[in-house]
Amino acid sequence: MSLRDGPLGDIKPPLAWMAGVALIIALGAALAVFVGDRRGTARGQALVTTRRAADAVVGPVGGVLSAPIGWVRQGVDAGKDYVFAGTQNRALKRQLIEAGAWKDEAVALRNENARLRALLGVKTDPPIPMVFARTVIDARGPFANTRLADAGAQRGVTEGNPVMSERGLVGRVTGVGPRVSRIMLLTDAGSRTPVIVGANGRAILTGDGGANPSLAYLRTHDVLHAGDRVLTSGDGGVLPRGLPVGSAVMGLDGVWRVALDSDASPIDFVHILLFRDFSQLVAPGALAPAALPSTSTGAPDVDASPGPATSSRAPAPAPAAAGAGSRR
């Protein structure tokens, strides 16, 4: 038997009487607000008491009446989100792609700024004038490793100037134009650089087109170890002494080679050292001859002026008389 055919079938749906109850409560709350809004006087103490009671009733009633409205608003918002979920999803994907591009650019700029700050901190002792430049790849063959820099003769660059990155020596300038110069890297087959290996070893860093140039003509009294530091020696006056080059490593062919410090980062920002010769490493006049001390002994000066000509030779002996021995 269904509920409608039972003894409770004449009862109306709950929505109808709930609406009636809500209407009665609303009317009572409106009446309480109307009464409570009237200004009391000293003689209307009963009215003031009634207003306070009405205020105490209106608070909970207002909360009860506003709760369904909040539920309805939440339901409407949930429905809108469900209906427009596809559009919002596409918009979020587009924003995510744009954010990823901005993130990549921000990371690249952060790394570039860090490298530029490190490059600005490159110092030499004694100080050597430097020119900042940006380079691009200019490889023209399997054994040629060169780059082009956007600094030339107009900025004081000359052939032979050493080139450094923020990590260490990169190479040297082999060609100069008014606004551009060519840099031959240490790995180029034509590169030859005098270096110090370890404590007192001497060698010629020789490029062969590979990543690790070899140490030719190695002369040392000590045993080399992997990781020994390699610096420029300054021999020949082509490069200043003490520029960082790399670390010694043993190659697979049994030849000592160098892991270059400059390979630790891209070679796109460099310093060109305006080095000519060792005379510019000291102040002008520092190599001038010093004043020699006086050689005077206090003895009277001897007059060296020429006097009358006199013969310094002893007088010649008188010749023997002729025939002296025949008188006997």
Compare 195 and 63 and report the one with higher pLDDT. Answer: 195
Choose the weakest-confidence range: 7-16, 103-112, 271-280.
7-16
Residue 322's pLDDT band (cuts 50, 70, 90): very low
Residues 43 and 178 in one domain: no
Q: Residue 199: pLDDT above 90?
A: no
Q: Which of 190, 139, 145 is nearest to 170 (CA)?
A: 145
**Residue 183 placed within a domain:** yes
Compare 308 and 269 and report the one with higher pLDDT. Answer: 269
Reading the block at residue 38, the tokens are 């009237």
Compare 155 and 125 and report the one with higher pLDDT. Answer: 155
Q: What crossing angle do the helices spanning 85-120 and 45-83 adopt, rounded to 10°? A: 80
**Residue 266 placed within a domain:** yes
What percentage of the chain has pLDDT greater than the value 90? 22
Average of per-residue pLDDT across 82-90:
76
Q: Residue 243: pLDDT above 80?
A: yes
Q: Residue 43: pLDDT above 70?
A: no
Residues 163 and 263 in one domain: yes
Residues 146 and 76 in one domain: no
**Residue 141 placed within a domain:** yes
Residues 56 and 182 in one domain: no
Select, from the ranges 39-48, 50-59, 102-111, 191-200, the one with the highest average predicted confidence (pLDDT).
191-200
Question: The domain containing residue 180 runs over which residues?
Answer: 130-281
What is the rounded distance in angstroms from the CA atom of residue 142 to the CA atom of residue 231?
27
Residue that finishes a domain, picked among 25, 54, 83: 83
Mean pLDDT of the chain: 74
Give the model's pLDDT for residue 95.
84
Residue 282's pLDDT band (cuts 50, 70, 90): low
Residues 184 and 263 in one domain: yes
Residue 230's pLDDT band (cuts 50, 70, 90): very high
Give the model's pLDDT for residue 35.
60
**Residue 321 placed within a domain:** no
Instruction: Return phi, psi of residue 77, to 5°.
Output: -65, -40
**Residue 286 placed within a domain:** no
Give the model's pLDDT for residue 49.
67
**Residue 119 placed within a domain:** no
Residues 160 and 271 in one domain: yes
**Residue 301 placed within a domain:** no
Average of per-residue pLDDT across 262-271:
84
Number of domains in the chain: 2
Residues 68 and 145 in one domain: no
Q: Is the pTM of this model over 0.75?
A: no
Residue that finishes a domain, picked among 64, 83, 102: 83
Residue 176's pLDDT band (cuts 50, 70, 90): very high
